[in-house]
Each structure stands twice: as C-alpha cells, then as structure tokens.
A and B are shown apart, each in its own frame.
Chain A
Amino acid sequence: AQSVTQPDIHITVSEGASLELRCNYSYGATPYLFWYVQSPGQGLQLLLKYFSGDTLVQGIKGFEAEFKRSQSSFNLRKPSVHWSDAAEYFCAVPDTASKLTFGTGTRLQVTL
C-alpha cells in the first residue's frame, strides 16, 4: 500500500521567514500527491496537487511543492510566511478509487 510520512510534527517560523514542510512517499511508480491545509476548526482545503510533468507545482496562497523522485519527497514551500498560514498541513497520496492515505500532519505555528 502507498504511504506518506511527515517527519515534523510541529514547526515554528517567524512571520516573513521561508517555510519548508517535508513529505516522503512510499510507492514504486510515480504517485499522485496532494497537499491539504486545515485551519483551526475547519475542514481540509486543497493547496496543490502533483500528477506528472513539471516537478515544481504551484498552488494557492503562494505555496509550491517540488517532486523529487530520487529522494521520494514532495516538500511544501513558501518563500515568506504570513501569520494567517498558521494551520495544520497534510500530505496525501491516493490509493485505488480515490481512497486517500494521509500523513500524520505538521502543525505550523507562526510567531510575529
């Protein structure tokens, strides 16, 4: 079965600093990959998705992610974090028939 690992449970960054959230996947072929964001008390919102082609994917809210096959990674990045980016971020990979397998999430705290 496919799986994703998010090694960082909690990350704190200062507003204006750059951000990188790690995601490693386990799958033999090129997977589909998603990043979702969950604001407190809310559901999950899709940030971006990777299917094939360009390994650098642009998403909403200024986020991007880079697919690196050699490292089995799909890390999420943002050049300059805003206080409103404080949330929990989930990497996910679909199994058969859209069944998503989620990582355990990374909680982002932004200090002013």
Chain B
Amino acid sequence: NAGVTQTPKFQVLKTGQSMTLQCAQDMNHEYMSWYRQDPGMGLRLIHYSVGAGITDQGEVPNGYNVSRSTTEDFPLRLLSAAPSQTSVYFCASSYSAGNNQPQHFGDGTRLSIL
C-alpha cells in the first residue's frame, strides 16, 4: 500500500541545472498537486492537475513546469534551478477535485540549490 511516492528524497543542484522531481500514486486518484514548504510560510501550491492531460497553475508556479500524461504520475520540472527554489517539495493526491476531499501527501523531496 504505497500511497504517494516521491523520488528522490534529497537532491543538491547547482544554479542553472535542471531536474525532475517524480511523484507517483497508486490510489487511482484524479487530483494531484505540488506544494513547496518554506520556514514560516506553510505550504504553497505550485501546480495542480484535476486529471490526466489537465494541469493548472497554483500560487507560486514561476520556474516550474508540470505534465500529467497518466493518472498515476505527476512530475515537477525545474528548468533552470535558482537558489530561491531551495525548499522541501511535497506531492499530494485526492480522489477528486472536490473541496471535501482530503489530500494524501508524499514524504517530500528536500532540494538544495547552490
């Protein structure tokens, strides 16, 4: 019963490098999302998807791209990493996009940009 799986758990990048954070869920959830967590700021929504082939921007989308080619996977891409993107990234999923749907979170990816 894996739930939401994020890889890698830790990553160090140099400024300007690109990388993809992976997120997979095995619960057949339609809704998936990416948050970043920074000290004193709680979690902020980066991008979200209400189903395969559909993505939209959240509160802090700049510098990040997403795609949703399958129901299970929702990768987050950093095209050119910047120190301001040093953060802990969480992927979450829920059965649907309804406001009463609790979200299930992965364990996070801790990303440092030097």
CA distance A42 to B98 in the complex (A): 25
Instruction: Choose from A45, A94, A96, A105 the contact partner of B42 (Cβ within 8 Å).
Output: A105
In the complex, whether B74 has a CB less than 8 A from a CB of chain A is no
CA distance A103 to B100 in the complex (A): 18
Instruction: Choose from B45, B90, B96 the contact partner of A44 (Cβ within 8 Å).
Output: B90
Size band of the interface chain B makes with A? 20 to 34
Closest to A97 in B: B97
Which of B43, B58, B100, B101 has the most chain A CB atoms inside 10 A of its CB? B43
Instruction: Choose from B40, B94, B108 the contact partner of A43 (Cβ within 8 Å).
Output: B108
Task: Determine how close the nearest CB of chain A comes to the CB of B100; give it in whole angstroms.
Answer: 5
Residue pair A98, B31 in contact (C-beta under 8 Å): yes
Task: Determine how close the nearest CB of chain B comes to the CB of A24; give it in whole angstroms.
Answer: 14
Residue pair B99, A41 in contact (C-beta under 8 Å): no
Contact residues in B for A83 (Cβ distance below 8 Å): none
CA distance A44 to B100 in the complex (A): 17
Residue pair A96, B99 in contact (C-beta under 8 Å): yes
What number of A residues sit within 8 Å (CB to CB) of B?
25
Residue pair A43, B103 in contact (C-beta under 8 Å): no
Task: Determine how close the nearest CB of chain B comes to the CB of A47; give it in whole angstroms.
Answer: 10
Residue pair B99, A94 in contact (C-beta under 8 Å): yes
Residue pair B31, A45 in contact (C-beta under 8 Å): no
Pick 25 A–B contacts, CB within 8 A, sort by A: A34-B102, A42-B107, A43-B4, A43-B106, A44-B92, A46-B102, A51-B100, A90-B42, A90-B43, A94-B99, A95-B99, A97-B31, A97-B50, A97-B97, A97-B99, A98-B97, A98-B99, A98-B103, A100-B33, A100-B103, A101-B45, A102-B43, A102-B44, A103-B42, A105-B42
A46-B103, A97-B99, A100-B33 known, 8 other contacts, Cβ within 8 Å: A43-B90, A43-B108, A46-B104, A98-B33, A99-B45, A100-B92, A101-B45, A104-B40
The 9 closest A-B pairs by CB, nearest first: A43-B105, A102-B42, A94-B99, A97-B97, A44-B105, A102-B43, A104-B42, A43-B107, A46-B102
Interface residues of A (CB under 8 A from B): 9, 32, 34, 36, 41-46, 49, 51, 90, 94-105
